[in-house]
Chain A
Amino acid sequence: MHGRPRKAPTQQEQDASALKADKLRHLQSQLLRFHLDKIFTKEGLEISAKLLEVNPEHYTGWNYRKLAVQHFTDKQSEDAGEFESFQSIFDEELRVVETALRTNFKSYGAWHHRKWVLSKGHSSVDRELGLLKKFQDLDPRNFHAWNYRRFVTALKEIPDEEELQYTTNMINKNFSNYSAWHNRSTLLSNLMEKGGKGYSEKESVLREEYEFVVHAIFTDPDDQSGWFYHLWLLEQTTILEPLLLSSWPSHSSKLYISANGYPSDQRSSRISHFFSKTREFPFILYFSEPVDGVSFATVCIECDYLVTSELTWTPISANGSGFAQAWMTFLKFPDAVDTLEACPVKVTVAYFQGIINMSGASCGQSYHLFFTVHIPSHDQNQVVDQTADRISWKEENFCVYAPESLDADLLPSVCNLEMTRQKPYDFGWSMKVIANEIERCRELLSETECKIGKLTLARLLMAYHSIMSVSCSHDRNDVRYEEILSLYDDLMKMDPSHIFYYEDQHSLVLLKQMTSSMGSLLKNSHHYQELTSSCLISYACSRLNGLSLSRLGSMEQLLWVQMLDLSHNKIRSTEGLEALQLLPA
């Protein structure tokens, strides 16, 4: 069934197929007439059967049969008497499907029709299981059969535990079987969700599965099916709920709003300064994955001077699915308020349940943010319209933040991720499991050169890092970015056909590395000021030029950026950039 090359047909075969085509055309036109005129007779059934047994791909044929069966089994129908019983009608359908499947085991139409017949409930499910055994012995990897198996076992209500044992047996026979591994993941998901006997402890279930799949991976590292299952396990091991990663303004930061671009206060640095004529500023939340449900009901903002009850939150995403990693609302101080000195704003994210990711998992706990806003008095804000000035991107206009400067001190605060959570996450077991898998992967790679092993190691290291970054206050220097980057470098050389993917991953890791420590972040952060212009407005700028980036990431660390230099990269998509709302449009 697998890996058999196609052979060119001989003349004899061509003649035979021409003859067959003629016959089929004839049957087809007959059938279409029956179908069009809605004539449901035994003759019509016979014609469609003949057609489908030769060409199971004829969807209209199956549809005609479906309508005919409905017609004959309709109690009011006068034609119902033509058949002995409902049973015989459905038996005939199963027979036709079986013959059709002998012609083409992979016919979607035929399998679909069989499911439909079975769902009518007049047929023996046990017989189907017998048939499936035959099919699956013949070709244990055929996903149609596996798909149908799931359908049948659900009908028969065969316990998932039993089916899990079946996948174990099939994998024992030949572990190079994507369908079997996939079915295993489906069954385990169900079992863990239901928390049945022996499956309530997700951690021990997953640990056992890691122990199972490792034998496939080590026995034949070149076979990818085990690795795919391993990837599924890794997904189950990492955090399954959306997390709030950062915000702008960030936790414990001080925001200075001015209408003219001059810092109104010596304490206000360019980096924490927001230019707004209307005393309005954006408030951005950034999550670990696209979420929905961010609203005034789920995010509670407390401030004496702000009207926060009916805030509109907008998902910032390019695809319009409603889910977004970044969400934004505008907070506006009423004109009635004059000057404000350190007006406190308290925010509770996920105050109520409702922020959910695409698979329906919700933020399990709430986050508390606190920042202050400074507003100068109205009269200090002589409006100077300077936005029309073009930015000239002259090299001399960029200025690195001096290490000891006020700005340099403030940068950490704009990137502050340490908002208060209800309770600290405990991902101890995940970290332990992943650390163990990392060790094994290294062990394997020391034995065997293996592409997917390297990729998995890179993914494991990243997963370890991302869990570490949310679970504990830690030493971030511990992360082995260099190792991950060199793994992707190797992969680009070893497997050039997937170079785009590796470049993207490499870019994401590189960005993560650059934004992960204040030192490296500072190196790439500048303030920009048009020196030649009379304008004194400056921008907080991040320069990510010349890094061979192909994709953008780590936006949670860059929400403060007002100007971004991405020149001399090979960016293929600006996906993610939309989160940086402080960039001038």
Chain B
Amino acid sequence: MEGETTSYPPIEPSTFDLIVVGTGLPESVVAAAASAAGETVLHLDTNPFYGAHYASLPLNDFVTFLQSHSQPSEVPEAESDDSIPLVTRSLYSSLEISSHSDEPLKNSRRFNIDLAGPRVFLCSDSMIDVILKTGINQYMEFKSVDTSFVGDVDGKLMSVPDSRSAIFKDRSLSIIEKNRLMKFFKLVQAHFSEENEEDRIPEEDLESPFVEFLTKIGLSQKLKSIILYAIVNASYDQDNIKSCKDVINTKSGISRLALHHSSVGRFPNANGAMIYPIYGQGEVPQAFCRRAAVKGCIYVLRMPVVCVLKDKEYGTYKGVKLVSGQRLFSSRLILAPSFTPLVPSTAQASKSHDAGHTDAKEKVARGICITNNSIRPEVSNCLVFFPPKSLYPEQIALVRAFQLSNNVAVCPPGMFVTYLSAMTIDAVEGKKLLTAAINALFSIPFSGNDGSRGIDNSSENIEVKPTLLWSALYMQELNKFQGALDSISNMVMPDEHLDYNHLLDAIERFFQEIYPGKEFLATSSQSNEHPNYADSELDS
């Protein structure tokens, strides 16, 4: 990406407690936590930007990043006995870009495209708590996600009645459905209020599959689907318990629902449960990096690491060698998920190592669509969920879609960016899922006769779908945190979830393993109660 003539300045000092390679979110959170805990940290990144696989990039850079991370890099020769070359693994595959208009690429720099979309914050989730307690909210601004929809079998989008007023306003539910849904919400509220032991949901119900509990209390198929996929965010078909990979039990279902409810109205300017950072998700790792820097962490971007240094005598980790040739030493090394030290001698070892990273072979199929219009004219930023079987009968996984507008500064005015994701085992199925959702949401111009098509249909279609201008589909590998047995640890790729909760939990556990007894991100004196809102209501 950078000119080869770039000169690399030497780094002082040359010994650290921790060296972190890659500025993805997990690396940045650990760097911030370790710095705050008093460790000396050096944080490096090959890229000229923060965020690595969690970054938000201009459209051109986004494409370049995906392309360069879709091909395995050349395996460099081992320089000497005590060094192991660092190999870049390709974590993306099956990249497919379709361009129906030049406009998006012409305006490349006006986009901030998330590599790990779709993702949002719930106002009451643990990530927001961390952001508030560390005070890094001063580096970020947020906007509300206006609303959520669930796609039904007929291709219609139903709004998600996730609160009392939303249930009231909804006109697609029957009054009995409204009554039962609100009663269920109250039941969950009473369960968590801890005022009355009798109000608690019985233990046997808590352990049973959530879908069965919802059926038991008399919720309609439509309501079950809304709760399971739009609120609890189950990835797979919950009705098919035998083959479902993530059967959600009542206990986790209701706690997720309670989190959703406590998120509604937590911040006076946020009008729903969810918020999104202006300029994109890439702001999040960057904010943690700034926090780390405040605590003394040293940052160097555009600095590739070529190999890992080993102690000759014991064969243990000693340090890294930079592309500049400088050798740096630390007691511990943390690597972005794309890097792996190539174990010499046999290639088989390398393969088995790879396999360990992607054990279930589950992938996330991700997609980005740029359109000329909003899914719903009255809405700027919204989520759409396509539950299993809603797009086609064999659909086994949920497809999430998240539309963002110019008001979060991720695209030029007059365009909208929609992120899609779904869990899958193979690329063919993954693309089928995303394509079905894209077809349900947008109209795709036939190449060549873009102009004439709109006129033919305008008389018949009352609801004109937004036109797709540009899209990219790709598969992203998933990996898990490795135990901290070794001094070298790999961080993880963006997970399949819509929020940061699972990721943050895993990062915290990892931190506690490598630094037992140290506090994970202590409360900052600078922290204040509310994240910054760019919503105009704040000023009026």
Contacts and interface: CB of A to CB of B under 8 A. Distances in A.
Given A172-B165, A173-B165, A175-B165, A215 B178 contact: yes
Nearest to A221: B179
A174 B165 contact: yes
Nearest to A214: B175
Given A220-B182, A447-B180, A448-B183, A215 B165 contact: no
A456 B168 CA distance: 20
A219 B176 contact: no
Q: Which of A173, A174, A215, A218 has the most CB of B within 10 A?
A: A218
Tell which of B168, B176, B182 has the most Cβ of chain A within 10 Å: B168
B168 A175 contact: yes
Interface string A200-217: 000000000000001110
Contacts of A174: 164-165
A219 B167 contact: yes
B165 A444 contact: no
B178 A444 contact: no
Main secondary structure of the interface of B (DSSP, over half): helix
**Which of A171, A215, A221, A443 has the largest count of B CB atoms less than 10 A from its CB?**
A215
Contacts of B182: 219-220
A216 B178 CA distance: 9
Contacts of B168: 171-172, 175, 215-216, 219
Given A172-B165, A172-B168, A172-B169, A219 B178 contact: yes
Contacts of A172: 165, 168-169
A215 B166 CA distance: 11
Nearest to A448: B179
Contacts of B175: 214-215, 218, 440, 443-444
A174 B164 CA distance: 8
Contacts of A448: 179, 183
A217 to B, nearest CB: 8
Interface string A436-447: 000010011001
Interface string B205-232: 0000000000000000000000000000
Nearest to A447: B179
Contacts of A216: 168
B176 A447 contact: yes
A311 B165 CA distance: 61
A219 B180 contact: no
Interface residues of A, number: 17
Contacts of B183: 447-448
A356 to B, nearest CB: 39
A282 to B, nearest CB: 52
Contacts of B167: 219
- Interface magnitude class on chain B: 10 to 19
Query: Which of B165, B178, B179, B183 has the most chain A CB atoms inside 10 A of its CB?
Result: B179
A175 B164 CA distance: 9
Nearest to B175: A218
B352 to A, nearest CB: 57
Interface in B172-189: 175-176, 178-180, 182-183
Nearest to A133: B540
A447 B180 CA distance: 8
A33 to B, nearest CB: 44
Contacts of B169: 172, 215
Nearest to B183: A448
Contacts of B176: 218, 443, 447
A216 B169 CA distance: 9
Contacts of A214: 175
Nearest to A134: B540
A437 to B, nearest CB: 12
Interface in A175-224: 175, 214-216, 218-221
B257 to A, nearest CB: 17
A148 to B, nearest CB: 20
Contacts of A219: 164, 167-168, 178-179, 182
Interface string A205-249: 000000000111011110000000000000000000000000000
Contacts of B165: 172-175
Interface in B150-171: 164-165, 167-169
B210 to A, nearest CB: 22
A271 B155 CA distance: 75
A221 B178 CA distance: 11
A382 B180 CA distance: 77
Interface string A158-177: 00000000000001111100
A440 B174 CA distance: 12
A1 to B, nearest CB: 14
B216 to A, nearest CB: 15
B469 to A, nearest CB: 35
A215 B168 CA distance: 6
Interface in B107-156: none
Interface in A440-485: 440, 443-444, 447-448
A138 B243 CA distance: 50
B535 to A, nearest CB: 13
Most A Cβ at <10 Å: residue of B175, B182, B183: B175
A215 B165 CA distance: 10
Contacts of B180: 447
Contacts of A221: 179
Interface in A290-313: none
A174 to B, nearest CB: 6
A172 B180 CA distance: 19
A499 B183 CA distance: 27
Contacts of B164: 174-175, 219-220
Nearest to A444: B179
A440 B179 CA distance: 12
A126 to B, nearest CB: 15
A39 to B, nearest CB: 43
B140 to A, nearest CB: 25
A443 B165 CA distance: 22
A213 to B, nearest CB: 10
Interface string B422-456: 00000000000000000000000000000000000
Nearest to A222: B186
A15 B385 CA distance: 59
A585 B164 CA distance: 60
B166 to A, nearest CB: 9
A220 B167 CA distance: 10
Nearest to A440: B175
Interface in A365-423: none
A220 B164 CA distance: 8
Contacts of A220: 164, 182
B176 to A, nearest CB: 6
B162 to A, nearest CB: 13
A534 B434 CA distance: 104
A175 to B, nearest CB: 5
A221 B180 CA distance: 11
Contact of B179 (A171, A173, A218): A218
A247 to B, nearest CB: 45
A448 B176 CA distance: 10
A440 B178 CA distance: 13
A220 B165 CA distance: 10
Contacts of A171: 168
Nearest to B537: A137
Nearest to B174: A218
Among A171, A219, A221, which residue has the most Cβ atoms of chain B within 10 A? Answer: A219
Nearest to A174: B165
Contacts of A175: 164-165, 168
11 contacts: A171-B168, A172-B165, A172-B169, A173-B165, A174-B165, A175-B165, A215-B175, A218-B175, A219-B179, A443-B175, A448-B183
Q: Closest 10 interchain pairs by CB?
A: A218-B175, A218-B179, A219-B178, A219-B168, A219-B167, A218-B178, A219-B182, A175-B168, A172-B169, A447-B179
Given A172-B165, A175-B164, 7 more contacts: A172-B168, A174-B165, A215-B169, A219-B168, A443-B176, A447-B176, A447-B179
Interface of B: 164-165, 167-169, 175-176, 178-180, 182-183
